[in-house]
Structures are given as C-alpha cells and as structure tokens.
Structure 1
Amino acid sequence: MVVYGIPNCNTVKKSLDWLKAHQIDFEFHDFKKKGITAEKLNDWCNAFGWETVLNRKGLTWKKLTKEAQTNIDTQEKAIAYLIENTSAIKRPVIEKDGQAILISFDEDRYAQTLG
C-alpha cells in the first residue's frame, strides 16, 4: 500500500496516525519531493473524478485569480495544473495493489475499506 501526500499536511498526518494505530503497513510517497506523473494523476482522476482530486479548499487554489480558476475546467487542464502545483492535490491518496482506493481522510471510510 502506498500513501501519497505531503508530510506537513494535517489530513495526511491524521491518515498516517490512523494507519499506524491499526498496524497497517504502508509506504509514504511525498509528492512534494518525489513529484507525481500525469499518468498517476489521470488514474486518480478516473477513480475519483478530477474535481475531487483538485483541492479547491487549499491556499494554492485560492491564490489563483478567478479567471485562472474558471479556466481549469477539464481533467486535462486540471492534471497540467496539478503537475506544476502538487500542493493543490487533495490528499492523501491511498493506493492498494496499484489501484487508488481512498482520497482524503474519513475514519469510517478507512475502517470500511481497510478494515
């Protein structure tokens, strides 16, 4: 299992703490340091929808002009933006056996999905 995120994000911290508390092994991929591929983002967008993968609540998104925000209106444009601005990816994303299974943190969904 791989957890994608950035270590200083509170939501990522909650997720990692939950996984550790439930003794679930994982590898952490810091996409601030290691980057992320368009292919990986495309997989996540196909799994969750590009509008879910794009974090519109974060500071990175809010710094954009309204015009720039409005212009990001397709999966292709969202992926191009997210490659350049990894902080705007909703996090964490959890993959199991190469498949994206969870995004963000919700204790009930984690318990249901990861048991």
Structure 2
Amino acid sequence: MCFENLKLFSYSSCSTCRRAIKWLKTNDITFELIDLLQSPPSKEMLISAFELYGDRKFLLNTSGIIYRSIGSDVVKKMTDNELLEQLIMEPRLIKRPFLYKSSKCLLVGFKEENWAEKLL
C-alpha cells in the first residue's frame, strides 16, 4: 500500500482528474496537486511507468486531440526514447491523472477499484 507523499499530475479541464481528486479527498488521502501542463512528470517518472505497466500504450491519452493529430501510426513507429521526449514536450499526451509516489507506486488513469486496491 502506498499512501504518503503522493503527487497527482492533473489537468484542470479533465473530468477524470476531477473525479480522482474527489475520490482522494473523500478517502482522506493527502496529495500534492500538480498542473500537468506546467510541471509534467519527469523523464524518470515516465520511465518508471513504462517499466511498471510493461506497455507504453497505457501511458498515452489516445482519446486526446494531440494524439489524434500525431496519429497512432506515427506514435507506434517512435522509439521509446522518442516517445518519452514527446510526452515531456507535449504533456497532454500523457494519460491522466498520473499519480506518483515512487517507481514502484504509481497509477495512470483513474479506475476507482485500482486506486482503492493500491491506496486503501
């Protein structure tokens, strides 16, 4: 269970982020709220997410305008390093919310049952 020193990378107009924030507050879980666009997750955090999830597709906001404008074929042809650089340059490509404590304790996207299992 990971519970302390949580950093929540969020985007203010993201309804999923707002649901995650509400869930965290309802469950009395303390977190630092970070604007994803102002301060995206570091390259090291993203690498940890790649390694933990085992597939980079879980880190991508595939329903967003930026992803659609780049195109899935282009993204698939990117090396992992190229994709990491793209995620840092254009953080709206990152699936959100992005909740980080350590390389072994992070969550991407909001599914209440996954968050409850990891945080409660």
The answer for the alignment partner of 1:9 in structure 2 is 14
4+ runs deviating over 6 angstroms: none
Per the alignment, residue 109 of structure 1 pairs with 114
How many angstroms apart in 2 are the aligned matches of 1:5 and 1:40? Answer: 15
Alignment counterpart, residue 75 of structure 2, candidates 47, 69, 86: 69
Deviations 1:91-115 (CA, angstroms, capped at 9, x unpaired): 1121235644211111111111111
TM-score by length of 1: 0.85
Distance 1:13 1:81, change over 3 A: same
Q: Which runs of 5+ in 1 are unaligned?
A: none
* Aligned 1:1-115 pairs, distance under 5 A: 1-48=6-53, 49-65=55-71, 68-72=74-78, 74-97=79-102, 99-115=104-120
SS in 2 for 1:27: strand
| Distance in 2 of aligned mates of 1:66 and 1:52 | 13
Q: Given the superposition, is the C-alpha separation of residues 77 and 24 from structure 1 closer, same or farther in structure 2, using an over 3 Å criterion?
A: same
Deviations 1:67-109 (A, max 9, x none): 533432x321210111111000001121235644211111111
Structure 2: distance between partners of 1:101 and 1:35: 14
CA RMSD of aligned residues (A): 1.9
List gaps (5 residues or longer) in structure 2.
Answer: 1-5
Could you tell me how far apart the structure 1 residues matched to 2:106 and 2:41 are? 17
TM-score by length of 2: 0.82
